[in-house]
């Protein structure tokens, strides 16, 4: 699991990193909201620890920006303890709130709680390698895809694209992000290549490709897989 820690105080970021690494998490570090948003757009992140008071883009605005395209759990940190600040943080889209100074063990407990909730509700059962939304199931251990129990035959590249989208459910991914993640090279003129593959995937997983249930186009931005109830 990869966790992004964002605080303009480098010592706090470094201290939190030590505790998270000791628990086996991979840590990315950012020092302002804009940098945190950029990381979240470019990489797969499973949870963000975000300070509220930062120069430039603060934690509130950064979280609101993140919520436009991602459902990553966000734990907010603040030196303030007033209810209004807590309410403001939660209303911006944060999932939890912790007041500085905090007990590192409490932070770790909240991180684990949010990740359990996220992986459960998001069906990101990475240990089993199974990703699911509605009747669409991708088993990465067996390298199989089924829709309502029926097997779907995808090419290796179609499979990789679908897996990447399902690993980032509810997140809008640009053609550049998809291409560079799947092909592992710089995207040059990737729009047509991705569009062709997306069309073929839709033809195989959707009942009506013109009215897709799973794989949606967000015009002018990219593509996403909706998270549906099983």
Which domains does the chain show, CATH number per domain? 2-121 (3.40.50.2300), 125-225 (1.10.10.10)
CA-closest candidate to residue 212, choices 222, 199, 202: 202
**Mean pLDDT of the region 131-157:** 91
pLDDT of residue 125: 43
Instruction: Report pLDDT for 25.
Output: 92
- For helices 156-167 and 175-183, the axis angle rounded to 10 degrees is 120
What mean pLDDT value characterizes the chain?
Answer: 86
8 Å CB contact between 124 and 118? yes
pLDDT tens figures, 22-40: 999 999 999 999 999 999 8
Decide: 45 and 71 in contact? Cβ < 8 Å.
Answer: no
The sheet carrying 124-125 orders its strands as 124-125, 130-133, 136-139, 144-147, 150-151
- Span 42-87, pLDDT tens digits: 888 889 999 998 988 988 899 888 877 777 889 999 877 666 666 7
**Residue predicted with more confidence, 224 or 83:** 224
pLDDT at 142 over 80: yes
Q: What is the pLDDT of residue 84?
A: 66
- H helical segments located in the chain: 10-22, 33-42, 59-66, 83-91, 104-121, 156-167, 175-183, 190-205
Closest CA to 116 of 77, 73, 75: 73
The whole-number average pLDDT for the span 140-150 is 90
d(CA 122, CA 187): 29
What are the backbone dihedrals phi and psi of residue 215, each rounded to the nearest 5 degrees, phi first?
-95, 110
179-219 residue pLDDT tens: 988 887 787 767 788 999 999 999 999 999 889 999 999 98
Angle, CA of 138, 3 and 160, to the nearest 5° = 25
Read off the pLDDT of residues 94-124 as tens digits, 9 standing for 90 and up: 888 888 888 999 999 999 988 877 665 554 4
For the cut 90, the answer to whether the pLDDT of residue 146 exceeds it is yes
The pLDDT-based confidence of 7 (bands split at 50, 70, 90) is very high
The 3-state secondary structure of 134-145 reads CCEEEECCCCEE
CA gap 70, 46 in Å, rounded: 10
| Widest Cα–Cα separation across the chain | 55
In this predicted model, what pLDDT tens digit does every residue of 161-188 receive, in sequence order? 999 999 998 889 999 999 988 887 787 7
């Amino acid at each position: 699991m990869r966790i992004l820690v964002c605080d303009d105080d480098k010592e706090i970021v470094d201290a939190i990193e030590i505790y998270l690494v000791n628990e086996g998490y991979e840590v990315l570090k950012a020092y302002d909201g804009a940098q945190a948003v950029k990381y979240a757009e470019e990489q797969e992140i499973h949870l963000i620890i975000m300070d509220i008071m930062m120069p430039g883009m603060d934690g509130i605005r950064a979280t609101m920006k993140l919520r436009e395209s991602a459902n990553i759990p966000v734990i907010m940190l603040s030196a303030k303890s007033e209810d209004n600040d807590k309410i403001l943080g939660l209303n911006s889209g944060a999932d939890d709130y912790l007041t500085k100074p905090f007990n590192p063990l409490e932070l770790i407990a909240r991180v684990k709680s949010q990740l359990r909730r996220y992986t459960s509700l998001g069906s990101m059962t990475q240990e089993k390698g199974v990703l699911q939304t509605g009747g669409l199931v991708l088993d990465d251990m067996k390298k199989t895809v089924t829709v309502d129990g029926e097997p779907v035959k995808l090419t290796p590249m179609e499979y990789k694209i679908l897996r990447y989208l399902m690993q980032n459910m509810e997140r809008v991914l640009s053609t550049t992000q998809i291409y560079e993640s799947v092909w592992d090279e710089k995207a040059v003129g990737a729009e047509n290549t991705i569009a062709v593959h997306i069309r073929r995937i839709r033809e195989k997983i959707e009942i009506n490709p013109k009215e897709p249930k799973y794989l949606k186009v967000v015009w002018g931005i990219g593509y996403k897989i909706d998270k549906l109830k099983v």
